[in-house]
A and B are shown apart, each in its own frame.
Chain A
Amino acid sequence: DTGVSQNPRHKITKRGQNVTFRCDPISEHNRLYWYRQTLGQGPEFLTYFQNEAQLEKSRLLSDRFSAERPKGSFSTLEIQRTEQGDSAMYLCASSPPEAFFGQGTRLTVV
């Protein structure tokens, strides 16, 4: 048990709907990362927080993606107007500096 919790574990949504995922990191970890992974690929960086500050966001992310970490604890990742290409595993990790991952949220857009 890594201590990082992600909800929901699975999400099936229709194209065009909005979805929101939650990540609860290990309590003493101030860095939090979001990654996306598709089959046969390594995790792809999405964004990164140090406490409540969002320090970096991937240029690959469209404006449909937004993430928050309002109190420096849990984080949410929202995808607006989902597309079939958004189907992937969304992974959250907390650190420092070794990262520990949650079990992920598997998103399927139909």
Chain B
Amino acid sequence: RKEVEQDPGPFNVPEGATVAFNCTYSNSASQSFFWYRQDCRKEPKLLMSVYSSGNEDGRFTAQLNRASQYISLLIRDSKLSDSATYLCVVQNTGFQKLVFGTGTRLLVSP
């Protein structure tokens, strides 16, 4: 079983739609969680950290469910510019290595 699992997609949505991605992780000792965005042939860029209480940044909302060991990312009012791959990232205790999922591809169409 992979340490971090994501649905690879692609998720095809029209502009203005709301879309949600889930990610599950296997290590219950995981301590820190992040969502990264990666455009084609570019480096990953930090989208947001995920806090236990959930957090929101504009159209983006991230939530953590430690009991079920999953994190989610919700994107409201999708824009064409949101088209990218969204990577779920988990970090274990002691701020050790970051473990990436394979990413979920989002395609927003006009």
Name A's B-contacting residues (CB within 8 A).
Answer: 2, 31, 33, 35, 40-45, 48, 55-56, 91, 93, 95-104
Q: How far is the CA of A41 from the CA of B6 in the complex (A)?
A: 11
- Tell me if A98 and B43 are in contact (CB < 8 A): no
Closest to B89 in A: A99
Q: How far is the CA of A55 from the CA of B95 in the complex (A)?
A: 11
Q: What residues on B are CB-neighbors of A97 within 8 Å?
A: 32, 91, 95
Q: A40-B102, A41-B102, A42-B102 are in contact. Are A101 and B96 (CB under 8 A)?
A: no
Q: What residues on A are CB-neighbors of B101 within 8 Å?
A: 42
Q: What residues on B are CB-neighbors of A44 within 8 Å?
A: 100
Give the number of A-B contacts (CB < 8 Å): 54
Q: A13 to nearest B CB, angstroms?
A: 19
Q: What residues on B are CB-neighbors of A31 within 8 Å?
A: 95
- Tell me if A45 and B44 are in contact (CB < 8 A): no
Q: A78 to nearest B CB, angstroms?
A: 20
Q: A42-B87, A42-B103, A43-B100 are in contact. Are A102 and B95 (CB under 8 A)?
A: no
- Tell me if A56 and B43 are in contact (CB < 8 A): no
Q: What residues on A are CB-neighbors of B45 within 8 Å?
A: 2, 101
A sample of 8 cross-chain residue pairs with beta-carbon separation below 8 angstroms, ordered by A number, consists of A35-B100, A41-B103, A42-B101, A43-B100, A45-B99, A98-B34, A99-B34, A103-B43
